[in-house]
Structures are given as structure tokens and as C-alpha cells.
Amino acid sequence: MAVANKARLVVLASGNGSNFQAIIDACESARLDAEMVLLVVNRPDAYALERAQKHGIPSSLIDHKDYPDRESFDAALAKTIDEARPDWIIMAGFMRILTDGFVERFRGRLINIHPSLLPKYPGMNTHARALEAGDLKHGATVHFVTPTVDAGPPIVQGRLEILDNDDVESLKQRIHGVEHRLYPLAIDWLVKGKIDFERAQKQTRPAAVDASGTLIVPTPP
Ligand code: GRF
């Protein structure tokens, strides 16, 4: 397929960007029929910027500290995103609460990855909360973004068993491994039209893969 026909991805990140890296790798190895057109970060020290540079991906820093309120930051962010003409806007560790207006503007094209089996543990410290609760399973969820944080329709979950000797650090690392397989898979499904916002809303049980990436709950037919 010609480059011009590839799905255009914009990634929003605030920090390390290991999920951004996993998506870059999937694009470069053609496992994902998509093109990374822009990285946007809101922090000048985000390591994701170096990853973009290394791979020749354009990047833009929109520092939230330069804006008086959420509305003006989100307006600048939306303008930058629109200029890149993305098909999908991918939040990968983007540590900003977005205004309802921003989320509605990109509804159905804006996705996020969260380190828990949503609806369990929205918000922070998900690994510690899963361990404290004595859960047997933990995981990550890729979902469409809606105005309520971490509550939009799930696209796919990656599940793993919590081990007896897991602590927050080991669990975090293993969840990252799951995320790096899960995010490219979810984007592949979106690009191929296997799932969209409406179908995701109708899933009574989110599609899911296990820690090895094997599909254990399929997408709706
Ligand atoms: C991931 O755990 C993701 O689920 C959460 O933020 C973290 C980002 O990690 N939203 P990285 O920057 O992609 O390494």
C-alpha cells in the first residue's frame, strides 16, 4: 500500500514513551499498516522526544505551563493535532486531564491505554491497588476516551495472572510488557475497521488477550 494511504497516527505522551516506542516498532516492521505522523508532549523533559528524534518522527512540545488554563492548552493541542490530519489520536502516558470539549471534538478517534482491567481501578496506583485487594488477575485496557476519565468504551484488554511474589515494581514491568503487545494490536483492529466506538460500546465483555498475546475473548462479530 502506498504511504499516502496508511492510517495516520498522532501520539500524545508526557514521559518515557515505551508504548510510543512499541507503536513505532510495529509501524516500522509493517506489523501495523500505519504511519506515525507526529508526537506531541506537554513536558520538555519527556524521553519520548528522543525516541521521536531517533526515528525521524516530527514532534511538538506544548508545555501546559505556558497556558493559563485547561481550555487554552487544549485549544493549542487541538490545533496542532488537526494540522497533522491524523486518523487516530493515541494517548500513551499523557498525564493531562482533557476538557470535555476537546474529548468530544475527537470522539471515536481518541484512544488511551490504562494499566488496569477497567472498570477496575481507574486513576492512579493501579498496581498497588490490585495487590492490596488480593486480586488474582491484573492487566491493561485500551479504550476510547470520553469525558469521564478512564471510563470510555474498552477496545481490548490484556490480562495476566498476579504471582505470589509480585510487588508493585515487578507487576508494573510485566504490565508494560502486556501493554507493548496490546496497543499495536488495538490500533491494528481500528485501522482494519474490526472495531469502532459504537461496537466497542456494545461489547458486554471487552475483547481480551492473555499475557502471551493469544486472543481469549474475541471482538463482536
Ligand atoms: C503506561 O503504563 C500506560 O498504561 C499509562 O502510562 C504508562 C506510560 O508508560 N497510561 P510509557 O511512557 O509508555 O512507558
Burial (CB < 10 A; 0-12, 13-18, 19+), residue 148, is: exposed
Could you tell me the distance, in angstroms and rounded to a whole number, from the CA of residue 113 to the centre of ligand 1? 7
Q: Is 128 or 2 the better-scoring residue by pLDDT?
A: 128
Residue 212 pLDDT: 87
Contact 150, 138 (CB under 8 A): no
- Segment 42-67 shows an average pLDDT of 98
Band (206; pLDDT cuts 50, 70, 90): very high
- Ligand 1, atom 9, residue with closest C-alpha: 93
The per-residue pLDDT for range 87-97, each reduced to its tens digit, is 999 999 999 99
Q: Is the pLDDT of residue 1 over 80?
A: no
The C-alpha cell that represents 82 in the structure block: 488537526
In sequence order, which residues have a C-beta less than 8 Å from that of residue 220 and are 6 or more positions away?
199, 202, 203
**d(C-alpha 98, C-alpha 39), whole Å:** 17
The C-alpha cell that represents 121 in the structure block: 481501578
- Ligand 1, atom 1, residue with closest C-alpha: 93
The pTM score is 0.96
Residue 4 pLDDT: 58
Contact 13, 93 (CB under 8 A): yes
Cross-sheet strand order for the sheet of 34-41: 59-61, 34-41, 7-13, 88-91, 110-114, 137-144, 154-161, 207-209, 215-217
- Ligand 1, atom 6, residue with closest C-alpha: 93
Nearest Cα residue to 156 out of 169, 143, 168: 143
Strand, coil or helix: 170: helix
Burial (CB < 10 A; 0-12, 13-18, 19+), residue 214, is: exposed
Could you tell me the distance, in angstroms and rounded to a whole number, from the CA of residue 180 to the centre of ligand 1? 10
- Ligand 1, atom 10, residue with closest C-alpha: 93
Q: Is the pLDDT of residue 2 over 60?
A: no
Q: What count of residues does the chain have?
A: 221
Q: Is the pLDDT of residue 213 over 90?
A: no
Strand, coil or helix: 93: coil
Q: Which residues line ligand 1 (CB under 6 A)?
A: 13, 15-19, 92-93, 113-115, 140, 179
Q: Is the pLDDT of residue 207 over 80?
A: yes
Q: Is the pLDDT of residue 165 over 70?
A: yes
- Segment 63-85 shows an average pLDDT of 98
- Segment 111-122 shows an average pLDDT of 98
Band (98; pLDDT cuts 50, 70, 90): very high
Band (219; pLDDT cuts 50, 70, 90): confident
Q: Is the pLDDT of residue 220 over 70?
A: no
Query: Quick check: is 176 catalytic?
Result: no
Helices (H), the chain: 18-28, 48-54, 70-83, 100-105, 126-132, 168-191, 197-202
Residue 5 pLDDT: 83
Choosing from 114, 127, 138, 180, the catalytic residue is 114
Give the chain's mean pLDDT. 95
**d(C-alpha 82, C-alpha 111), whole Å:** 16
Q: Is the pLDDT of residue 3 over 60?
A: no
Strand, coil or helix: 131: helix
Q: Residue 166 phi/psi, 5° resolution?
A: -70, 140
